[in-house]
Amino acid sequence: MTDPLPGMVGGDHGELPLDAGAFRQVVGRYATGVVIVTTQVDGVDHVMTANSFTSVSLDPLLVLFCVSHDARFRPAVLASGAWGISIADTQAQPAAAWFARRGRPLPDQIAEVPHHRGANGVALIDQALGWLECRTVAVHPAGDHDIVIGAVTRIAAPRRTRDPLIYWAGGYHQGTGSLLDTSNGTSMGDDAGANDGNA
Ligand SMILES: Cc1cc2nc3c(=O)[nH]c(=O)nc-3n(C[C@H](O)[C@H](O)[C@H](O)COP(=O)(O)O)c2cc1C
């Protein structure tokens, strides 16, 4: 990428304003996968697209995602304490865009999206590379978000692997699954966390 960011001062290592706009621009250059987080309260499904998901610990099995104080999903997931993670494949892009749309009608928001139920009752999106069911073990306030940490209670995956949905620079992209290198980088050490490529 050679285009300078708006507001950049100087040359190729140009400094940007210390503000939310520059932060979003630069953090958005960190490519992520996309998950659909789901929960259920009083029989009503609540759903949100997220890319803040990460694995945390192998022993015990822990994952986290961050939820905005503005998200309607936040009170629902805090109330329920049980949630699901569907790791989106490329076919889930319209669903990811739908569950990221602010102000969409909440009732039956999942009705048109193919899904099944986990053992904990939450909806899991069919167009996924894998599914985790989780129980909240800690919630840490962090600025305008909460960090929700969950113990993994069930793991499932489809038989057939598909291409991952990637979010990068404000847009959805197709992961091709083609390796750049056949070594997996383990020479960097094996104590870098649960998502260090060794898990
Ligand atoms: C790719 C992508 C990733 C997102 N990741 C998060 C996230 O990790 N946490 C969050 O609170 N919102 C995230 N959002 C924004 C929410 O999906 C969006 O605000 C949604 O409308 C929230 O729905 P709700 O208000 O019904 O809960 C993301 C949006 C996109 C497009």
Q: Is residue 178 part of a domain?
A: no
**37: nearest Cα among 102, 107, 128:** 128
Q: Is residue 14 part of a domain?
A: no
36 lines ligand 1 (CB under 6 A): no
In this prediction, residue 186 carries a pLDDT of 56
Q: How far is the CA of 66 from the centre of ligand 1 (A)?
A: 9
Residue 59: CATH number of its domain: 2.30.110.10
pLDDT in tens, 35-77: 999 999 999 999 999 999 999 999 999 999 999 999 999 999 9
Q: Is residue 197 part of a domain?
A: no
Helix (H) or strand (E) holding 76: helix 73-80
In this prediction, residue 182 carries a pLDDT of 72
Amino acid at 80: S
Q: Please identify, by atom number, the ligand 1 atom nearest to the C-alpha of residue 53.
A: 8
In this prediction, residue 194 carries a pLDDT of 57
The parts of the chain modelled with pLDDT lower than 70 are: 1-11, 184-199
> Which residue, by CA, sits nearest to atom 16 of ligand 1?
100
Q: Is residue 199 part of a domain?
A: no
Number of domains in the chain: 1
- C-alpha 143/C-alpha 85 separation (Å) is 23
- C-alpha 68/C-alpha 103 separation (Å) is 14
Q: Is residue 20 part of a domain?
A: no
78 lines ligand 1 (CB under 6 A): no
In this prediction, residue 82 carries a pLDDT of 98
165 lines ligand 1 (CB under 6 A): no
Per the DSSP assignment, residues forming a β-bridge with 9 are: 15
Range of the domain at 39: 30-165
> Which residue, by CA, sits nearest to atom 5 of ligand 1?
50
Q: Is residue 51 part of a domain?
A: yes
123 lines ligand 1 (CB under 6 A): no
Specify the DSSP class assigned to residue 196: S
Q: Is residue 64 part of a domain?
A: yes
73 lines ligand 1 (CB under 6 A): yes
Q: Is residue 198 part of a domain?
A: no
68 lines ligand 1 (CB under 6 A): yes
Q: Please identify, by atom number, the ligand 1 atom nearest to the C-alpha of residue 52.
A: 8
Q: How far is the CA of 76 from the centre of ligand 1 (A)?
A: 14
